[in-house]
Structure 1
Amino acid sequence: MLSTFHPMACIAWMRVAEQPQRLLYLAATLAVCTLAWVVLSAFSSPFLASRVGMAVNAELAVANAQTQNGSFPLRHALRLEEMPGVSAVSYFGLASLPCGDGRSSLSINAYGGSGVDSLLRGRGASQETLDRWRSTRTGLLVGADAAARCNLKPGMSLTPRDHLSGVEIPVTVVAILPGGGGALDDRIAYGHYDYLNRLMPDERSDQVLRARVVGENAATLSALARSIDLAFASSDPPLQANPASGTESALGRFGQVQALLGLIMVAMAICALLVWVTVLAHLVTQRRPSMAVLQSMGFGRGLQFGALIIELGAVVSVGALLGVLGGQGVIALLTPRVSWLLGPLRAPDWAFASLLPALLLLAAIALVWPALQVRRLKPIDHLQS
């Protein structure tokens, strides 16, 4: 075997020295394709969906399935916190207090549950503000528009009567939230569910208007919604979970981007295959006379085809190695720029696991035509020169 490998290697080296630019072109094509494969796989990998979900506060809105504006028992919300796949739950009851001018009212969403802090941070509350609100039983965090409309200032204490129940509800304005959270967010105030619930009459006690469920993995948010619907299908009343509009839109767009990146990866692989098939076919056609001369000197078809395999094996190895190293370098450069949204990027394991079979398939298809030409080779073909 060593006796045949040496002449194969010598012929391969001779061919590399003859047309290095053609082989460099093949290696560069493969390197670019491999680089794109590694980088695009990092962006199209499904694990990014959960990262994107975190960045857009992916959540489910859970409500009474029978009546659009109806409430449901607090025990349902507490049961949601125990379900598999749930990271946090927040729920609220509603009160409506008159403003000082008597002509408008202030809507209070009284929140409870494990996800309240993250929700209020999303509305612009600082940690210091949250701490003061937590320590003030009657505390309210008031949206900027609501504060201006009702002329509310931090530190004010009021005892208005709830429009919905007729109960007097002493409240204290802890802070005014910064504007820009959204039209609805700016027009309401945030209170404590436990405090409001204790003041409500029996018919409104232990009732929740809406719940907000944050899943552990945003990529399986739809499956979590179906699990909630099924778990509460026979409850009184049943519950219905739907992705929040912003979450559904963001994850939908990300899914479309993933599909587009997948198509780009396939297109680049096909382009690389066409380049290799075309260049190798032309290369073997050009070499046919010199190959016939070598055949007449005793270098048989098998020997020359083996030399071609060694030659292309070296090109594939160099191109793939440069592509992988370049792809990892590009990922390292992009990570600081996209980590705020996607977290640290990394090429998934399947990208590397599929690379070797893909390269072998590329080489096998590209060698079909050269193999046919070598098989038909005759010493008389040197006259074609």
Structure 2
Amino acid sequence: MWPTIRSAFFIAWIRTGEQPLRVLSLIATLAITVMAWMVLSAIAAPFLASKMGAAVNASLGIANARVQNSGFPLRHVRQLEQMSDVAAVSYFSMASFPCGSGAGTLTVNAYGGSGASAFLRSGGALAHQLESWEESSNGILVGAEAAERCGLHPGMELSPVEFLSNTRIPIRIAGVLPPGRSGMGDRLAYGHYAYFNGLLPEPQRDQVLRAVVRGVDASRLTALGEEIEQAFTGADPPLQANVSSGAESALARFGQVQSLLGLIVLAMLACAGLVFVSVLAHLAAQRRSSMAVLQTLGFNRRTQFFALVLEYLLVGSIGALLGIGMAYMVLMLLNPHVSWLLGQIKVQEGTLLQLLPALVMLGLVSLSWPALQIRTLSPVEHLRN
């Protein structure tokens, strides 16, 4: 057995040096294919949808399913927070105060849960404003238009009477948000749910007007919404969960991109397979006469087939290692430009685990015709040329 292996190594070494450009082209083809496969598989990985969720504001809006524009009990929020597929829940109630100048009302959305700071930050709240708001339980951040209409400025302390509850609620202006917030944002103020809720009379306490749910996996938002609605079907009142149209559209487009990248990966693997099959088949046809000569010199069919397998292993190993290194380098260069949307993209463990079986399958397919040629080899073949 050892003489056969040693002879196969010797033949493989000679064969590799016969046509170095062709060997290099096979290595380059495999390296580029492996690199593209790993990079595209990383970009098309299902987990990226959940990473992208924050960038496209992928969330569920939770509301009273029975009475439109009405609230629901805070205990529903606590139940939502216990669901395994829910990552975070934010919620708010509403309070209204007269403006000091008598020019209408000041509406305050009182936020609770984990998403209030992120919401205000995305709306343009400055770092020092958020810090002041978070440190003062009675602090509110006021939209630019509301602050101008009501004559409010940072540091003011007021004690107005809330319209709906007829309760006097002391508040402090923690900051005025920069102008330009979309929609109603400039006309509103933002406070803390726990503070406002604690001062309301018992009948109006522990009520939530709306809630926002972020899922563990943003790609399953629709399914999560159905689970929430089913879980609260018998509750009083039942809940309705809606995916924001923009997020739903963005996630759907991302799913289409994932499918397209998957097809591109399969096409590249098929092209690499065709290249290897055609090149090795051509090499076997070219070498048929020289293989016959080697057979007459005592190098039997099995030894020559082992030599061909060793050639493939050499090309496959070098090409795969180069492809892996190139994939890591491409992702390292790509991450700074896409991390804001998708987070850190990394090579998937599943892709690495699939690499060895893929190389084995490529070898079986591409070596099948050369193996058949070697099997039918006869010593007289060298006389034909």
Partners of 1:270 and 1:78 in 2: how far apart?
A: 52
Partners of 1:260 and 1:144 in 2: how far apart?
A: 45
Partners of 2:134 and 2:60 in 1: how far apart?
A: 25
Aligned: 1:123 with 2:117: no
Tell me which amino acid in the other structure corresponds to 1:327: A
Q: What TM-score do the two structures reach when normalised by structure 1?
A: 0.88
Partners of 1:321 and 1:382 in 2: how far apart?
A: 38
Retained in 1: the 8 A contact 2:47–2:217? no
Provide the residue aligned with 1:144 in structure 2.
Answer: 144
Q: Secondary structure at the match of 1:233?
A: coil
Provide the residue aligned with 2:357 in structure 1.
Answer: 357
Change (3 A) 1:169 1:309: same
Aligned: 1:373 with 2:370: no
Partners of 2:69 and 2:162 in 1: how far apart?
A: 18
Q: Secondary structure at the match of 1:17?
A: helix
Per the TM alignment, residue 275 of structure 1 is displaced from its structure 2 partner at its CA by 0.7
Change (3 A) 1:103 1:7: same
Partners of 2:375 and 2:137 in 1: how far apart?
A: 89
Change (3 A) 1:69 1:292: same
Partners of 2:307 and 2:82 in 1: how far apart?
A: 65
Aligned: 1:272 with 2:300: no
Tell me which amino acid in the other structure corresponds to 2:49: A
Change (3 A) 1:53 1:168: same
Provide the residue aligned with 1:248 in structure 2.
Answer: 248
Provide the residue aligned with 1:52 in structure 2.
Answer: 52
Tell me which amino acid in the other structure corresponds to 1:256: Q
Partners of 1:308 and 1:88 in 2: how far apart?
A: 58
Coordinate RMSD, CA, aligned: 2.8
Change (3 A) 1:97 1:43: same
Tell me which amino acid in the other structure corresponds to 1:333: L
**Within 5 Å, which residues of 2 pair with 1:215-364?**
215-364=215-364
Tell me which amino acid in the other structure corresponds to 2:143: G
* Greater mean alpha carbon deviation, residues 204-213 or residues 101-110: 101-110
Partner deviation per Cα, 1:252-278 (whole Å, 9 max, x = no partner): 333233222222211111110011111
* Unpaired stretches in structure 2, ≥5 consecutive residues: none
Q: What TM-score do the two structures reach when normalised by structure 2?
A: 0.88
Aligned: 1:3 with 2:3: yes
Q: Secondary structure at the match of 1:182?
A: coil
Tell me which amino acid in the other structure corresponds to 2:334: L
Query: What percentage of residue pairs aligned between the two structures are identical?
Result: 54
Partners of 2:215 and 2:8 in 1: how far apart?
A: 60
Per the TM alignment, residue 197 of structure 1 is displaced from its structure 2 partner at its CA by 3.6
Partners of 2:260 and 2:68 in 1: how far apart?
A: 37
Partner deviation per Cα, 1:109-146 (whole Å, 9 max, x = no partner): 12223432333233233443234334545432112343
**Within 5 Å, which residues of 2 pair with 1:71-150?**
71-99=71-99, 104-150=104-150
Retained in 1: the 8 A contact 2:103–2:149? no
Tell me which amino acid in the other structure corresponds to 1:112: G
* Greater mean alpha carbon deviation, residues 236-245 or residues 356-365: 236-245
Tell me which amino acid in the other structure corresponds to 1:319: G
Change (3 A) 1:88 1:147: same
Aligned length in residues = 385
Partners of 1:103 and 1:119 in 2: how far apart?
A: 28
Partner deviation per Cα, 1:205-245 (whole Å, 9 max, x = no partner): 43211012233443444443333222211101111223334
Provide the residue aligned with 1:184 in structure 2.
Answer: 184
* Greater mean alpha carbon deviation, residues 146-155 or residues 202-211: 146-155
Partner deviation per Cα, 1:286-308 (whole Å, 9 max, x = no partner): 22222233333333332222221
